[in-house]
Amino acid sequence: MAIRQIKSGKAARPDSIPAEALKSDIEVTTNMLHLLFKTIWEEEQVPMDWNEGHLIKIPKKGDLSECEDYSGIKLLSIP
Model pLDDT for residues 7-34, shown as the tens digit of each residue: 888 776 666 788 888 888 989 999 999 9
Helix, strand, coil percentages (3-state) for the chain, rounded to 5, are 40, 20, 45
Quick check: 62 pLDDT over 70?
yes
User: Helices in 1-79 by DSSP H: which ranges?
Assistant: 19-24, 26-43
pLDDT digit string, tens, across residues 29-61: 999 999 999 999 999 998 887 777 888 888 887
* Bridge partners of residue 56, in order along the sequence: 73
**17 Cα distance to chain centroid:** 11
Q: Which helix (H) or strand (E) holds 73?
A: strand 70-76
Q: What pLDDT does residue 14 have?
A: 65
The full set of domain ranges for the chain reads: 19-76
